[in-house]
């Protein structure tokens, strides 16, 4: 029972903002979401995001049960192995992952565009597109007003910055917060999945998450994304009847252009890229990826050659510095807007979802009259800042996503590469170490400390 329902204004219809909006709506709390992209299909959303137990748990808490089932059905086939291979496609290590046993325990592969369509389902009337936030005003009566570039405004009792790494809300609210370049650059590409492109991958790579540890300091990651629908968006034969029924009834599939593909991302220290890399697109960018991988196995090079040039994207990897606690108010932040992290541990989206579920729980307590809204925000921030910035730290320092990592240095980089390959090789071959590695993988992705 909601005693005194506040209205929440969310800036950004990304992973965290939409999950929060779903949770608030489910609790009967008023919410509006304001997104700068012009339509629900715009944005750089074609890539994979790995959702582990932390993210799934938050989604299960916030989404209506049928929508959580749709989320599960729209995930790509789950990875069965975590592999490490050399640039010549020789297997250094292969760890079997756990089968999908329950709703939240699995490691899920999700297409960003599909996740956005799932999270928009049922919120169509609450989300406004083509609304670029510019600034806010906090009023003495406790309300807060967001202003948009087109001159319109939105007023509520709480303003939530869910507007990602370059958050305009954060720039105004916490101008001292530091976001910085991590020193690495990614080139992301997608290759249509066909019998031929699949045949270019060893079986375990085709069925897993695969890191490529390349000699010379170029790294890569491969994910094969296979969905339950075909090229035309029709449910594939053989899909279980209940899943097929859910998919056919889900209106989001009509807005989703995601099809089976191989996600292939290569990265290295920014020093190895030309100065204009972030402006390059299409064939030009694919050629650059090919130059960086000239010594890679011909099958990996063929994959790059077959990538969809329109999908090629340069990504400058960013990180953030811990922000000392501030006096809580009617403005707060979640996800990348407060704790941008490198993709090194694959937990940025999971942490944004965790924030959303936690903030939703706190706003519900305020709505039920158990605490003031500002106290709810303070309790959320006191819990979120420590785990958020712990993930930022791990992501930068334990993953090769910092441009200062030894692996990118001349001479010592070769030793670091041999050391890393040796570590993974031994760990995957000794049963006790292998079990611990897999346990740690899930614990880290499911921890709720």
Ligand X SMILES: Cc1cc2nc3c(=O)[nH]c(=O)nc-3n(C[C@H](O)[C@H](O)[C@H](O)COP(=O)(O)OP(=O)(O)OC[C@H]3O[C@@H](n4cnc5c(N)ncnc54)[C@H](O)[C@@H]3O)c2cc1C
The residue from 164, 208, 344, 400 that contacts ligand X (CB under 6 A) is: 164
The residue from 8, 10, 17, 212 that contacts ligand X (CB under 6 A) is: 17
Query: Does residue 16 touch ligand X according to CB under 6 A?
Result: yes
Helix locations, 101-157, DSSP H: 112-120
Q: Which listed range, 69-77, 126-134, 250-258, 373-381, lies at the site for ligand X (CB under 6 A)?
A: 126-134
CA separation for the pair 197, 306 (Å, rounded): 8
Taking the complex as a whole, the smallest distance from the CB of residue 372 to ligand X amounts, in Å, to 26
The answer to whether 346 and 50 have CB atoms below 8 angstroms apart is yes
Taking the complex as a whole, the smallest distance from the CB of residue 143 to ligand X amounts, in Å, to 19
CA separation for the pair 122, 379 (Å, rounded): 29
Q: With respect to ligand X, which residue has the nearer C-beta, 84 or 188?
A: 188
Query: Does residue 335 touch ligand X according to CB under 6 A?
Result: yes
Q: Measure CA of the first residue to CA of the last residue in the chain; give whole Å.
A: 29
The residue from 6, 35, 84, 344 that contacts ligand X (CB under 6 A) is: 35
The residue from 8, 9, 10, 13 that contacts ligand X (CB under 6 A) is: 13
Taking the complex as a whole, the smallest distance from the CB of residue 117 to ligand X amounts, in Å, to 13
Q: Which listed range, 32-40, 85-93, 321-329, 415-423, lies at the site for ligand X (CB under 6 A)?
A: 32-40
Query: Does residue 445 touch ligand X according to CB under 6 A?
Result: no
CA separation for the pair 20, 18 (Å, rounded): 5
Q: With respect to ligand X, which residue has the nearer C-beta, 36 or 364?
A: 36
Taking the complex as a whole, the smallest distance from the CB of residue 349 to ligand X amounts, in Å, to 3
Query: Does residue 349 touch ligand X according to CB under 6 A?
Result: yes
Taking the complex as a whole, the smallest distance from the CB of residue 60 to ligand X amounts, in Å, to 16
CA separation for the pair 240, 246 (Å, rounded): 10
E-assigned strands of 19-166? Answer: 30-34, 48-51, 81-86, 91-96, 108-111, 127-128, 133-138, 144-148, 153-156, 158-161
Q: With respect to ligand X, which residue has the nearer C-beta, 55 or 122?
A: 55
- Local structure of residue 97 (DSSP, 8 states): P
- Report CA-CA distances (Å) from 205 to 5, 63, 67, 202: 50, 33, 31, 5
Query: Does residue 400 touch ligand X according to CB under 6 A?
Result: no
Taking the complex as a whole, the smallest distance from the CB of residue 47 to ligand X amounts, in Å, to 6
The residue from 61, 336, 381, 405 that contacts ligand X (CB under 6 A) is: 336
Give the residue at shortest CB distance from ligand X: 14
Taking the complex as a whole, the smallest distance from the CB of residue 149 to ligand X amounts, in Å, to 8
Q: With respect to ligand X, which residue has the nearer C-beta, 12 or 53?
A: 12
Q: Which listed range, 162-170, 372-380, 421-429, 432-440, lies at the site for ligand X (CB under 6 A)?
A: 162-170
Nearest to 121, CA basis, from 8, 220, 22? 22
Q: Which listed range, 230-238, 324-332, 339-347, 384-392, lies at the site for ligand X (CB under 6 A)?
A: 339-347
The residue from 163, 256, 260, 379 that contacts ligand X (CB under 6 A) is: 163
Query: Does residue 346 touch ligand X according to CB under 6 A?
Result: yes
Query: Does residue 182 touch ligand X according to CB under 6 A?
Result: no
Q: Which listed range, 84-92, 161-169, 189-197, 232-240, lies at the site for ligand X (CB under 6 A)?
A: 161-169
Query: Does residue 220 touch ligand X according to CB under 6 A?
Result: no
Q: Which listed range, 82-90, 130-138, 399-407, 423-431, lies at the site for ligand X (CB under 6 A)?
A: 130-138
Give me the residues that bind ligand X (CB under 6 A), please: 11-17, 34-37, 43, 49-50, 131-133, 162-164, 168, 186, 188, 265, 315, 335-337, 343, 346-350, 352
């Amino acid at each position: 029972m909601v005693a005194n329902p506040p209205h929440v204004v969310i800036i950004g219809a990304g992973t965290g903002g939409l999950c929060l909006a779903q949770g608030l709506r489910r609790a009967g709390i008023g919410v509006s979401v304001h997104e700068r992209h012009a339509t629900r299909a715009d944005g750089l959303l074609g890539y994979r995001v790995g959702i582990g137990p932390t993210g799934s748990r938050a989604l299960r808490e916030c989404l209506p049960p049928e929508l959580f089932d749709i989320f599960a059905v729209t995930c790509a086939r789950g990875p069965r192995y975590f592999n490490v291979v050399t640039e010549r496609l020789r297997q250094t290590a292969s760890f079997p992952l756990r089968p999908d046993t329950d709703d939240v325990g699995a490691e899920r592969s999700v297409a960003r565009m599909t996740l956005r369509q799932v999270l928009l389902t049922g919120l169509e009337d609450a989300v406004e597109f083509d609304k670029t936030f510019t600034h806010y005003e906090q009023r003495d009566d406790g309300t807060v007003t967001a202003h948009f570039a087109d001159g319109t405004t939105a007023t509520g009792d709480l303003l939530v910055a869910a507007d990602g790494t370059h958050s305009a809300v954060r720039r105004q609210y916490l101008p001292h917060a530091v976001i910085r370049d991590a020193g690495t650059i990614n080139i992301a590409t997608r290759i249509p999945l066909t019998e031929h492109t699949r045949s270019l991958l060893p079986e375990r790579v085709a069925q897993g998450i695969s890191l490529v540890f390349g000699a010379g300091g170029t790294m890569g990651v491969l994910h094969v994304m296979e969905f339950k629908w075909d090229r035309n968006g029709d449910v594939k034969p053989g899909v279980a009847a209940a899943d097929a029924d859910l998919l056919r009834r889900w209106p989001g599939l009509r807005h989703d252009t995601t099809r089976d593909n191989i996600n292939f991302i290569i990265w290295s220290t920014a020093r190895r890229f030309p100065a204009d890399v972030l402006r390059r697109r299409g064939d030009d960018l694919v050629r650059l990826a090919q130059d960086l991988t000239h010594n890679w196995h011909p099958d990996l090079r063929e994959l790059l050659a077959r990538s969809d040039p329109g999908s090629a994207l340069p990504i400058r990897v960013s990180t953030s510095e811990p922000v000392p606690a501030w006096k809580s108010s009617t403005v707060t932040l979640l996800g990348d807007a407060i704790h941008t992290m490198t993709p090194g541990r694959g937990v940025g989206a999971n942490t944004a979802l965790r924030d959303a579920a936690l903030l939703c729980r706190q706003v519900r307590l305020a709505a039920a009259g158990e605490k003031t809204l500002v106290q709810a925000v303070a309790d959320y921030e006191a819990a979120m800042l420590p785990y958020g910035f712990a993930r930022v730290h791990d992501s930068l320092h334990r993953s090769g996503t910092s441009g200062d990592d030894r692996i990118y240095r001349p001479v010592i980089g070769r030793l670091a590469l041999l050391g890393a390959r040796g570590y993974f090789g031994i760990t995957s071959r000794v049963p006790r170490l292998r079990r611990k590695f897999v346990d740690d993988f899930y614990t880290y992705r499911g921890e709720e400390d």
